[in-house]
Structure 1
Amino acid sequence: MDEEQLARIAGLPKTELHLHFEGAAPPAFIRGLAAEKQVDLSRIFNEDGSYAYRDFTHFLSVYEAATGVLKTPEDFARLCRAVLEESAANGVVYSETFLSPDFCGGGDVSAWRDYLHAIREAAEAAERDLGVTLRGIVTCIRHFGPDKARAAALCAAETADDWLVGFGMAGDENRGRQRDFAYSFDMAREAGLQLTSHAGEWRGPSEVREAVEDLRVTRIGHGVRAIEDPATVEMLAERGVTLEVCPGSNVVLGVYPALADHPIDRLRRAGVKVTVSTDDPPFFHTTMRREYTGLAQRFGWDEEVFAEINNTAMDAAFCDAATRAAVKKRLEPS
């Protein structure tokens, strides 16, 4: 694939369904906020200013340390602007982001409303200024346990509307079982929210199956290790479950040694609905432009394939029909 075609692919309008809000915080933004608050976070940065961590468990602790300087609704509004500026610079026209009430008010519904209001106002301003449409998905944190998850689900249920559109679970996949969180997912479903859960990143295909069967999700965060079991791949394809795939993240964290080993292309060819996202982009030294060009170079994906990927993402998006239709128009070739 020549440089001209790669440049066209990098410049395509894009959709992103798997973006952790705090995890998308540019390091410079967190360093600046820490300086304002006189908090020493030097231990979480490399000499070049990037986030420093050793492995997935350490990544979670660095993530939570960085998040620790985000204290007020105004802090989160400023973060929203910074995140969406990065999205716009990478051609993203629609994004869904994971928001945790645990980090926004400690799981208290009243406090959560204040944080959510500030984030939403900033998102609406950014949509006018930058052309990026954002929607929110409340996530419980798996390693915080089922009780905390119920508080997060209550926050989600109490604020579900046309902007806060989904509920999911993130965190350490090696803690507990998907079914431990069924109560929270049932609560969110009854409130009209659509559902996703991280699965099949660190644990194998059985974890993916459990998320689909026990939590009744329509999307899976990552889900890539389903490739290890043909029956699970067939189940995903037959049920139309969409995978929120984050290739760069999987490689950096060592789920796969290199992009050439990543199963996204095999999953797609097997009929599984796959999408492309960055996960926690500054932590994993990636952007949506970089994800697209990497996939084009490694698997020969051209503009037609990326159009399919974006269409799949919008069909799986948790937004309302009017928003979906408007975004799809923006994705059409000019």
Structure 2
Amino acid sequence: MIPKIELHLHIEGAAPPAFIRGLAAEKHIDISGIFNERGHYAYRDFWDFLRVYEAATSVLQTPEDFARLTRAVLEESAANGVIYTEAFLSPDFCGGRDLSAWRDYLAAIQEAAAEVEAQGGPILRGIITPIRHFGPEKARETALCAAETAGDFIVGFGMGGDEKAGEPKDFQYSFDMAREAGLRLTCHAGEWGGPDSVRRAWRDLRVERIGHGVRAIEDPALVDDLAEAGVVLEVCPGSNVALGLYKDWRAHPIGRLYERGVKVTVSTDDPPFFHTTLTREYDRLAEALDWDDAVFHTLNRTAAEAAFCDGATRAALIKRLEGQP
């Protein structure tokens, strides 16, 4: 239960299955085919996971649905000692990228987050994400939503989805728009696209963080470049193991990346899909890599320094990590 900071969490992907089933029942929507006999999300591989993810998200249809989701996700985070979370939010799922509708969804999410924070729960900040396999044109619409609502709560811009859809340079316009609006940048890469996808995202989109990024380990020169430049990897080991990218926790490269001087952090990605929590991630890493509290403190300090929040929030987080009042 040490204080934890999480930088890579998809808010829809963090929806507990029971929450989604309950919401579907309220709306009389049949999505029973995305669950197994135990009530867990069921998928065959990463691409089937995307299908199930989008089906689960389809029951989230109003700002109030997302407010309820935000409370449920933050309650789970609080139960695992999380004090700060950056969640990926997508206008694609919140009003179909219509700016006026997106403002309504965002207001509901932000209000729910503020209520949780006021009650002593985690601080939440948002990173707007276009969906890569929806294409560059829709990404531009998402970037406009991000630019128009950038501020204290919306602090970053990234990109999720299928890494094999298009090239990072296809999305340069969207990332440039977000950068000009003052948003800080991250991008999913180095999960299914290989080490070259990391280099292309870093080079072409000029991001300061990479979501996942673990396939960089396959290119020693790239590992050295990332370490030297201080690029931060938002690593989600449980996600990678659950999706079959690595056979087990001992085979996961986060330990080797850390030893080579790359700045790594630990997150859960879409925790109920992968039967994980941030506490479980820490426990499994401690078991597999013999990491002690000092290592986890370093990872959380790295996460605090890499967070996209304002300086005052960062300073307060670091104080909490250090055990100061």
Short-chain TM bin:
over 0.9
Give distance in 2, aligned partners of 1:302 and 1:289. Answer: 14
Q: 2:245 matched to which residue of 1?
A: 255
Q: 2:33 matched to which residue of 1?
A: 43
Give distance in 1, aligned partners of 2:121 and 2:322. Answer: 15
- 1:63-74 alignment to 2 at 5 Å? 63-74=53-64
Amino acid at match of 2:113: A
Q: 1:101 matched to which residue of 2?
A: 91
Amino acid at match of 2:198: V
Q: CA deviation at 1:129?
A: 1.7
Tell me, yes or no, if structure 1 residue 117 matches structure 2 residue 116: no
Q: 1:27 matched to which residue of 2?
A: 17
| Secondary structure of residue in 2 paired with 1:76 | helix
Amino acid at match of 2:126: G
Tell me, yes or no, if structure 1 residue 328 matches structure 2 residue 318: yes
Of residues 244-253 and 174-183 in structure 1, the stretch that sits farther from structure 2 once superposed is 174-183
Give distance in 1, aligned partners of 2:196 and 2:58. Answer: 34
In the alignment of these two chains, the number of paired residues is 324
| Secondary structure of residue in 1 paired with 2:264 | strand
Superposition CA RMSD, Å: 0.7
Amino acid at match of 2:214: V
Tell me, yes or no, if structure 1 residue 200 matches structure 2 residue 190: yes
Q: CA deviation at 1:128?
A: 1.4
Give distance in 2, aligned partners of 1:129 and 1:152. Answer: 31
Tell me, yes or no, if structure 1 residue 163 matches structure 2 residue 153: yes
Q: 1:294 matched to which residue of 2?
A: 284
| Secondary structure of residue in 1 paired with 2:87 | strand
Q: CA deviation at 1:31?
A: 0.4
Give distance in 1, aligned partners of 2:315 and 2:136. Answer: 36
Q: CA deviation at 1:333?
A: 3.5
Residue of structure 1 aligned with 2:231, choices 222, 231, 241: 241
| Secondary structure of residue in 1 paired with 2:206 | coil
Give distance in 1, aligned partners of 2:274 and 2:13. Answer: 10
Structure 1: segments with no counterpart, 5+ residues: 1-10
Structure 2: segments with no counterpart, 5+ residues: none
- 1:120-139 alignment to 2 at 5 Å? 120-139=110-129
Amino acid at match of 1:69: V
Tell me, yes or no, if structure 1 residue 307 matches structure 2 residue 297: yes
| Secondary structure of residue in 1 paired with 2:5 | strand
Amino acid at match of 1:67: T
| Secondary structure of residue in 2 paired with 1:195 | strand
Q: Taking structure 1 as the reference length, what is the TM-score of the superposition?
A: 0.96
Percent identity over the alignment?
72
Q: 1:3 matched to which residue of 2?
A: none
Q: CA deviation at 1:203?
A: 1.3
Give distance in 2, aligned partners of 1:130 and 1:25. Answer: 21
| Secondary structure of residue in 2 paired with 1:333 | coil
Q: 2:262 matched to which residue of 1?
A: 272
Q: Is contact 1:88-1:130 (8 Å) kept?
A: no
Tell me, yes or no, if structure 1 residue 281 matches structure 2 residue 271: yes
Q: 1:83 matched to which residue of 2?
A: 73
Amino acid at match of 2:296: F
Amino acid at match of 1:229: D
Give distance in 1, aligned partners of 2:130 and 2:310. Answer: 23
**1:78-112 alpha-carbon deviations (Å, 9 max, x no partner):** 00000000000000000000000000010011110
Q: 1:153 matched to which residue of 2?
A: 143
Amino acid at match of 2:199: R
Tell me, yes or no, if structure 1 residue 16 matches structure 2 residue 6: yes
